[in-house]
Structure 1
Amino acid sequence: MNTTMGSNTTVASTLTTTTEYSMVFKNPVAVVRFYQIGYTFTFLLGFPGNIASFITFSRPTLRKVSTGCLFIVLAISDTLYLLMCVIDYLEFGLSVSYQRLSYDDFCRFRTFVMCVSQIASAWILVIVSLDRWIRTRFPFKSGSLCTPKNALLTVGVMLVVDILLNAPLITPLFGGFIRGLVIGACGPTYISITYVLFYYYDWSIIQIFTTCIIPATIMTILIIDILISTRLRRKAMARQNQALDLDKNAQRKNVLQRQMFILMVGSVCIFLIATLPVSIYKIVSPHSDNIITALFQIVSIWTGLGWFQSLLYAVSFYVHCLSSNLFRKEFMAIMRTMSNRIHPRTEVIEITQRERRANTLATSRKF
């Protein structure tokens, strides 16, 4: 009798544990929908837009300016981030299993690339803002300082620091946990308890500051200073401009630099709008001693804000089109060039088909 009761208790406890784990180790419906619907929308916007941005900024008019080169690198970084989101989209949204891959290595790779591209995109915008600030504050030195070569060199130094900062993510200290679970798919292994404690207590704060708070603060300060400086300079130069007409080349340079400033402001604004909500929530999100309670409290909101942040890496092209006349003109020039290349081929094919039909009719009449 006691044996039967003991076995029943064991079975009951086992069922309870299984039910509890099945509830915990399962993504909420809202999370799955964000990946299925939200990220589909992000990809439809992001990949064509980033490709269009890359091609447009590669035009001679834009790539000869340091800011244009920086926007080319930004488009590459944004595309890398979206590619890593595709991996998560397949696993968490479509329940694709990566059974043939080494999940630990795969987890390290996607997390590393995602974190590196996040920091890179944020700090490329900082470098863009710094480039504009130097041109405004030190116009006579900007010709030697703000060159495409120096811009790419600065990006290279930033990437080295970025990679070193995220280097632990590609070591055995980091790996896979619970496959298919958004909040637990990747994380620190228990090889080093010191790293585990660092990751859970310090690393998230470091990420928030390196990907949002510090870049946002620097960019905001630079833009405010640029606006103040530009306003003062316009007042000082107003009388000189009335007495001295600028040549066409100088006017073109001024227009180009003004359009680059507009592109920078638009990119910074969308950065602030997309990144601040998720960063603020990560700081003030509720903490609970009960892991299950904490999971259900924050995972859906966290995923939703993460999807909203992913739009930052998808809408740059459309912000550029809306904010800059020069960018629209360059993009339309590309469209016209592509159209002119397609239409002549179509016309040649049509003419060839007409000639064949005419020859066929002539031959049939002879017989």
Structure 2
Amino acid sequence: MSASKSYYPSFSPLDLYYLSVSSDIFQYGYIVFLIIGFIGNICQIMTFLRKTMRNISTGILFLALSVSNIIYLLVSIYVLMIYGFQISDQSNYPKTCQFRHYMVYLSTNFSAWMLTLISCDRWIRSQFPIKAQRFCTPRTAIYSIIIALIFDCILHIHIITPMFGQTAPGVTTICGADNRYPIYSYFYTEIWPIISLLTITVIPAICMLFFLIAITINVQASRNRIIPIQQTNLNRHEQRRARFLHRQMLILMFVTLMVFFLTTFPVALMRFILSNSNIQQSFSFSLLLLSILEVITLSNYSLNFYLHCLTSKLFRKEFFKYIPCSISITFRQSNRATNIGITQQYFTHRQQGTVTQLMGHRSNTNELGKNNTTNI
């Protein structure tokens, strides 16, 4: 949707151009990523709900991450309506502002710490393969999710207090600290950006980087140690299955972390620099930068499912079990395998029969030769 001069009568032509571009980015970018994100995260939840995935602690953590991503996408619909379609907010704006910002902070922080827990889970499995049987369980993953959620709710509790909401009476376009509370206004503008940057981006990124390096070192040092089971109690088939599951979970973890680093960390750093710099920017240019940053951030919560399908054989296998056409494909593959087995058995029996006939023919020839020698 393009902005018109009648809608923004006091802006210059350049400002109108910035507003038009930002409106298009909000509208078309959000529509595309919301559709992709909802479909992908719903399919991802269905996949991680399967028994093979939810019996693994990492699968439980990925499931919680997908739910958090959907919450972020649901809250982003409000941004699409206001800035994309330019529909005015007719609700109780202070309460809507508090709820929207609280859920945004809650989901972004929770997703970051879920990725940290996923990295920690895989590190424990690679560093302590025997003890991981006792620590890395679905129940432990659920307890970790509850603790992270409680910490997240307490950390952002100030967002839903009367101190946060409208910046001034009558303003329904910007959320922030209420000017009637100067101490909180100072906290929100000077201290909270640092806390938010540390808890959502810097600390989780440092932890994830540490776990990634440690996992890489452990895998290179000893490939046998990454199996989280005792080899003496399992046969070779189960050992190969455990090694396959571990490798596929590592692939899912690496892909998800790369998306997080590429979409979240640069955006958070840029926002922090812009918020603490003394560069004077017009409202239209700030809105244009905001639209670009928001779309990049939105992609982090929309693309995981598709990247998982492209990179993980286990994820594709579990996901395709939900598709009806996969039943016929599996049936054809089983029939093909059965036919190949029957063919191999046929040729094996035929070769064995040929060898038996040759051996019988040779024995008869030898006996005939012996009789001829006796007769001579």
Structure 1 length-normalised TM: 0.78
Q: What displacement does 1:185 show? A: 2.1
1:253 equivalent in structure 2:
242
**What is the identity, as a one-letter code, of the residue corresponding to 1:310?**
L
Alignment of structure 1 residues 1-367 onto 2, 5 Å: 19=10, 28-99=19-90, 101-177=91-167, 184-234=173-223, 247-285=236-274, 293=281, 295-336=283-324
1:13 equivalent in structure 2:
none
**What is the identity, as a one-letter code, of the residue corresponding to 1:52?**
C
* CA distance 1:190–1:158, change in 2 (3 Å): same
Q: What displacement does 1:176 show? A: 2.8
Structure 2 length-normalised TM: 0.76
Between 293-302 and 48-57, the greater mean CA deviation after superposition: 293-302
Contact 2:18/2:285, CA 8 A, preserved across alignment = no
* CA distance 1:106–1:246, change in 2 (3 Å): same
SS of the equivalent of 1:28 reads: helix
Alpha-carbon distance in 2 for matches of 1:28, 1:289: 22
**What is the identity, as a one-letter code, of the residue corresponding to 1:68?**
G
Q: What displacement does 1:309 show? A: 1.2
**What is the identity, as a one-letter code, of the residue corresponding to 1:98?**
D
Q: What displacement does 1:332 show? A: 0.9
Alpha-carbon distance in 1 for matches of 2:19, 2:169: 15
**What are the superposed Cα offsets for residues 47-91 of structure 1, whole Å, 9 maximum, x if unpaired?**
000000000011111110001111111110000001000011111
* CA distance 1:216–1:236, change in 2 (3 Å): closer
* CA distance 1:270–1:214, change in 2 (3 Å): same
* CA distance 1:72–1:288, change in 2 (3 Å): closer
Aligned residue-pair number: 314
**What is the identity, as a one-letter code, of the residue corresponding to 1:273?**
L
SS of the equivalent of 2:176 reads: strand
Contact 2:115/2:257, CA 8 A, preserved across alignment = yes
Contact 1:25/1:178, CA 8 A, preserved across alignment = no
Q: What displacement does 1:190 show? A: 2.2
Q: What displacement does 1:177 show? A: 4.3
2:230 equivalent in structure 1:
none
Alpha-carbon distance in 2 for matches of 1:288, 1:151: 41
Q: What displacement does 1:179 show? A: 11
Alpha-carbon distance in 2 for matches of 1:141, 1:236: 11
Between 209-218 and 60-69, the greater mean CA deviation after superposition: 209-218
Between 274-283 and 49-58, the greater mean CA deviation after superposition: 274-283
Q: What displacement does 1:235 show? A: 8.2
Q: What displacement does 1:29 show? A: 2.1
Alpha-carbon distance in 1 for matches of 2:192, 2:182: 14
Contact 2:118/2:253, CA 8 A, preserved across alignment = yes
Q: What displacement does 1:163 show? A: 0.6
Contact 2:98/2:164, CA 8 A, preserved across alignment = yes
Between 24-33 and 277-286, the greater mean CA deviation after superposition: 24-33
Q: What displacement does 1:234 show? A: 2.6
**What is the identity, as a one-letter code, of the residue corresponding to 1:304?**
I
Q: What displacement does 1:30 show? A: 2.5
Alpha-carbon distance in 2 for matches of 1:172, 1:33: 34
SS of the equivalent of 1:285 reads: helix
* CA distance 1:290–1:273, change in 2 (3 Å): closer
Bigger-Rg structure (1/2):
2
Q: What displacement does 1:289 show? A: 5.5
Alpha-carbon distance in 1 for matches of 2:102, 2:81: 18
Alpha-carbon distance in 1 for matches of 2:178, 2:15: 20
Give ranges in structure 2 of 5+ residues lacking alignment. 1-8, 227-233, 329-376
